[in-house]
């Protein structure tokens, strides 16, 4: 019988002919655990009567969700986690500041294509960026996987998403996946695997953006077909059966905005133009990579963000952080007025970094805009691409980034001035610290390496 990618992977790992709807017991190639749930995972293992994990070489542990520790309670939890890692003898341990678990899992090669990986985080779907069946689970499921090296799964039906054409300048794969979420809805892929066609040759980062956000449609997994990492056998059969098929033409795609408090309440940017924002967050496993920071820097380099807006940039891993430092991108963003946070989940989930106050409005490049997600339940979160984020930081309102990318310097300044003048009085204008030497460094960075690799 022809198989989807999910059916192929689960048949292979469970050593049986598995089809959608079957229940399988699947060996896992790795288990990912992070700080947010470690207490419950340790308690689960203890309750199971297991002192040791099944294989210390197949466990990866991260401190990223509230890192560095913002409170004494969290600090204590991190201490317990470190002691557990040491006594278990787990070498694959990334402490605070190394980055978001998903970014490191993919970029450091911990995700073996064609295998099942259980993660303690809902965005573990991200591992589908390199062809792995990554599934997010709760603490007890993770404890069971750590104890047995196996998990139970219902073989999911699959939804086929096909991308055609190439996006225009200023439109990104973030916009593409938000267009898909708009189409499918927050529960349209419930229990299903989203299979991406026409995305295999995209950069790895774009593939993480796609696979990770399948979580926002309720998917069990999201897997990109035909990636460079995939072994020969890892492809869906041509006549496989899909529960649904969606095609997105990238060449006509507009920048997309998710309107609070739903991630599937998505509109073309034209419908959100002029929406004031107070805070802009650039980061997360969805959009915290070098390319995302470069896109923002392409808009902000040599300029200052709106004095009434705070911009927080959190690279998704130390590798991304250092690459962005080395090519001048972070300097350009800092000089523009950004706060640069240490690598990790940052304010995406409202635990560290700049949490939101009531009535505040945020434009975030992350993946969720539920009520209370980034702090106060009375804050509002819009979601968009790094280009949209940069323009929002600059003008204080949501706007279509494309005209800014095409404009001459004079036209650009005019666009910014007009948007700023239209924005109602909110917040207070901050003076930027820093001296003329900094300005000189910015102009140096402007003509340096980073300027040549915009986009």
| CA–CA separation, 39 and 44 (whole Å) | 9
Q: Residue 48, interface with other proteins (CB under 8 A)? A: yes
**Tokens representing residue 408 in the block:** 């001459």
Give me the half-sphere count of Cα atoms (radius 13 Å) on the Cβ side of residue 25. 5
CB of 152 to other proteins, least distance (A): 6
Q: Residue 243, interface with other proteins (CB under 8 A)? A: no
Q: Please list every residue from 87 through 106 that binds other proteins, using CB under 8 A.
A: none
Q: Residue 191, interface with other proteins (CB under 8 A)? A: yes
- N- to C-terminal Cα separation, the chain: 44
Give me the half-sphere count of Cα atoms (radius 13 Å) on the Cβ side of residue 138. 3
**Which C-beta is closer to other proteins: that of 61 or that of 74?**
74
Q: Residue 152, interface with other proteins (CB under 8 A)? A: yes
Q: Residue 193, interface with other proteins (CB under 8 A)? A: no
Q: Residue 370, interface with other proteins (CB under 8 A)? A: yes
**Residues contacting residue 455 through CB under 8 Å, at least 6 positions apart:** 169, 294, 295, 298
8, 30, 160, 351: residue in contact with other proteins (rule CB under 8 A) = 351
In this chain, which stretch among 22-30, 168-176, 287-295, 324-332 interacts with other proteins, using CB under 8 A? 22-30
**Which C-beta is closer to other proteins: that of 262 or that of 426?**
262
User: What CA dihedral angle connects 282, 284, 286 and 289, to 10 degrees?
Assistant: 70
| CA–CA separation, 64 and 76 (whole Å) | 15
CB of 70 to other proteins, least distance (A): 8
In this chain, which stretch among 268-276, 311-319, 324-332, 349-357 interacts with other proteins, using CB under 8 A? 349-357
**Which C-beta is closer to other proteins: that of 167 or that of 188?**
188
Beta carbons of 67 and 97 less than 8 angstroms apart = yes
- Nearest-5° Cα angle at 320, 315 to 322: 100
**Which C-beta is closer to other proteins: that of 191 or that of 242?**
191
CA distances from 264 to 94, 216, 255, 260 (A): 33, 8, 14, 9
Q: Residue 79, interface with other proteins (CB under 8 A)? A: no
337, 353, 375, 386: residue in contact with other proteins (rule CB under 8 A) = 375
**Which C-beta is closer to other proteins: that of 152 or that of 233?**
152
138, 274, 358, 403: residue in contact with other proteins (rule CB under 8 A) = 138
**Which C-beta is closer to other proteins: that of 351 or that of 423?**
351
179, 368, 419, 423: residue in contact with other proteins (rule CB under 8 A) = 368
In this chain, which stretch among 47-55, 281-289, 314-322, 401-409 interacts with other proteins, using CB under 8 A? 47-55
CB of 407 to other proteins, least distance (A): 39
CA distances from 312 to 29, 42, 78, 295, 365 (A): 35, 33, 24, 15, 11
In this chain, which stretch among 202-210, 238-246, 281-289, 368-376 interacts with other proteins, using CB under 8 A? 368-376
CB of 23 to other proteins, least distance (A): 4
CB of 354 to other proteins, least distance (A): 13
Q: Residue 66, interface with other proteins (CB under 8 A)? A: yes
Q: Please list every residue from 402 through 431 that binds other proteins, using CB under 8 A.
A: none
Q: Residue 331, interface with other proteins (CB under 8 A)? A: no
Rg of the chain over all Cα atoms, to the nearest angstrom: 22
| CA–CA separation, 133 and 135 (whole Å) | 6
Beta carbons of 8 and 234 less than 8 angstroms apart = yes
Burial class (CB in 10 A: 0-12, 13-18, 19+), 51: exposed
Task: Measure CA 120 to chain center.
Answer: 15
- 107-123 in b/e burial notation, b at 16+ Cβ within 10 A? beebbbbbbbbbbbbeb
| CA–CA separation, 242 and 47 (whole Å) | 40
Q: Residue 449, interface with other proteins (CB under 8 A)? A: no
Q: Please list every residue from 118 through 137 that binds other proteins, using CB under 8 A.
A: 120-122, 124, 136-137
Q: Residue 357, interface with other proteins (CB under 8 A)? A: no
Beta carbons of 104 and 317 less than 8 angstroms apart = yes
- 214-228 in b/e burial notation, b at 16+ Cβ within 10 A? bbbbbbbbbbbbbbe
In this chain, which stretch among 70-78, 108-116, 300-308, 324-332 interacts with other proteins, using CB under 8 A? 70-78
Q: Residue 377, interface with other proteins (CB under 8 A)? A: yes
Among candidate residues 43, 213, 27, 204, the one with its CA nearest the CA of residue 122: 213
Write out the residues near other proteins by the rule CB under 8 A.
Answer: 22-25, 35-40, 44, 47-49, 66, 71, 73-74, 77, 120-122, 124, 136-141, 143-144, 147-148, 150, 152, 186-187, 190-191, 218, 220, 262, 349-351, 355, 368, 370-373, 375, 377
């Amino acid at each position: 019988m022809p198989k989807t990618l999910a059916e192929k992977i689960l048949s292979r790992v469970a050593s049986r002919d598995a089809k959608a709807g079957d229940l399988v017991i699947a060996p896992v190639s790795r288990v990912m655990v992070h700080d947010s749930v470690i207490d419950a995972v340790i308690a689960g293992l203890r309750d199971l009567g297991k002192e040791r994990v099944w294989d210390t070489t197949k466990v990866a542990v991260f401190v990223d969700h509230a890192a560095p520790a913002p409170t004494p309670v969290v600090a204590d939890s991190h201490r317990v986690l470190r002691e557990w890692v040491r006594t278990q003898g787990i070498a694959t341990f990334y402490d605070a500041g190394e980055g978001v678990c998903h970014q490191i899992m993919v970029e450091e090669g911990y995700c073996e294509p064609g295998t099942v990986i259980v993660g303690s985080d809902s965005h573990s779907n991200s591992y589908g960026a390199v062809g792995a069946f990554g599934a997010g689970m709760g603490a007890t499921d993770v404890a069971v996987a750590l104890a047995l090296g196996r998990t139970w799964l219902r073989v999911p039906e699959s939804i086929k998403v096909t991308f055609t054409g190439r996006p225009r300048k200023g439109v990104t794969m973030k916009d593409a996946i938000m267009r898909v979420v708009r189409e499918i809805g927050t529960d349209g892929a419930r229990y299903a695997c989203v299979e991406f066609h026409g995305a295999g040759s995209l950069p790895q980062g774009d593939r993480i953006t796609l696979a990770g956000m399948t979580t926002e449609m309720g998917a069990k997994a999201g897997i990109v077909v035909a990636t460079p990492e995939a072994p020969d056998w890892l492809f869906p059969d041509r006549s496989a059966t899909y529960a649904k098929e969606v095609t997105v033409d990238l060449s006509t795609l507009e920048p997309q905005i998710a309107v609070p408090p739903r991630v599937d309440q998505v509109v073309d940017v034209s419908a959100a133009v002029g929406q004031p924002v107070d805070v802009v967050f650039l980061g997360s496993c969805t959009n915290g990579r070098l390319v995302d920071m470069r896109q923002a820097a392409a808009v902000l380099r040599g300029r200052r963000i709106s004095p009434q807006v705070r911009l927080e940039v959190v690279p998704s891993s130390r590798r991304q952080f250092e690459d962005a430092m080395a090519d001048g991108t972070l300097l350009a963003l800092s000089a523009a007025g950004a706060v640069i946070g240490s690598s990790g989940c940052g304010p995406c989930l409202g635990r560290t970094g700049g949490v939101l106050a009531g009535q505040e409005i945020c434009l975030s490049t992350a993946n969720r805009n539920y009520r209370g997600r980034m702090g106060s339940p009375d804050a509002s979160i819009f979601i968009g691409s790094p280009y949209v984020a940069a323009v929002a930081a600059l003008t204080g309102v949501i706007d279509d980034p494309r005209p800014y990318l095409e404009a001459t310097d004079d036209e650009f300044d005019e666009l910014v001035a007009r948007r700023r003048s239209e924005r109602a009085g909110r917040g207070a204008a901050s003076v930027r610290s820093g001296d003329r030497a900094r300005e000189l460094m910015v102009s140096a960075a402007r003509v340096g390496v980073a300027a040549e690799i915009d986009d």
